[in-house]
């Protein structure tokens, strides 16, 4: 992730002055965590795709990617 992305995400959350309003900061943190989880899940899926299509390793890695994504859901 780049500084430009972080600034863009902060603006999307309405982060103008976190000292007076902390809500946008929390929304910003959630957005960063969401993007980080997705990036990690994609790496795990790439590893799964490199495994045999009928192998246990691929099944486990795909399950791990799903678990990473699920962490962000209520």
pLDDT over 70 (residue 19): no
Angle (CA) 24 30 35, round 5°: 125
Mean model confidence pLDDT for the chain = 85
Question: pLDDT band for position 2 (50/70/90)?
Answer: low
Domain that holds residue 58: 32-74
In a 13 Å sphere around the CA of 54, the CA atoms on its Cβ side amount to: 0
Answer whether residue 70 is part of any domain. Answer: yes
Instruction: With beta carbons less than 8 A apart as the criterion, state whether 68 and 44 touch.
Output: yes
Answer whether residue 24 is part of any domain. Answer: no
This prediction's pTM: 0.73
Per the model's pLDDT, the better-predicted residue between 47 and 28 turns out to be: 47
Answer whether residue 23 is part of any domain. Answer: no
pLDDT in tens, 45-69: 999 999 988 899 999 999 999 999 9
Count: domains in the chain: 1
């Amino acid at each position: 992730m780049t500084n430009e992305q972080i600034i863009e995400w902060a603006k999307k959350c309405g982060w103008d002055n976190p000292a007076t309003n902390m809500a946008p900061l929390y929304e910003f943190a959630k957005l960063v965590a969401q993007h980080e989880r997705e990036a990690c899940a994609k790496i795990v899926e790439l590893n799964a795709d490199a495994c045999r299509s009928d192998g246990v390793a691929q099944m486990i890695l795909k399950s791990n990617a799903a678990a990473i994504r699920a962490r962000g859901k209520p």
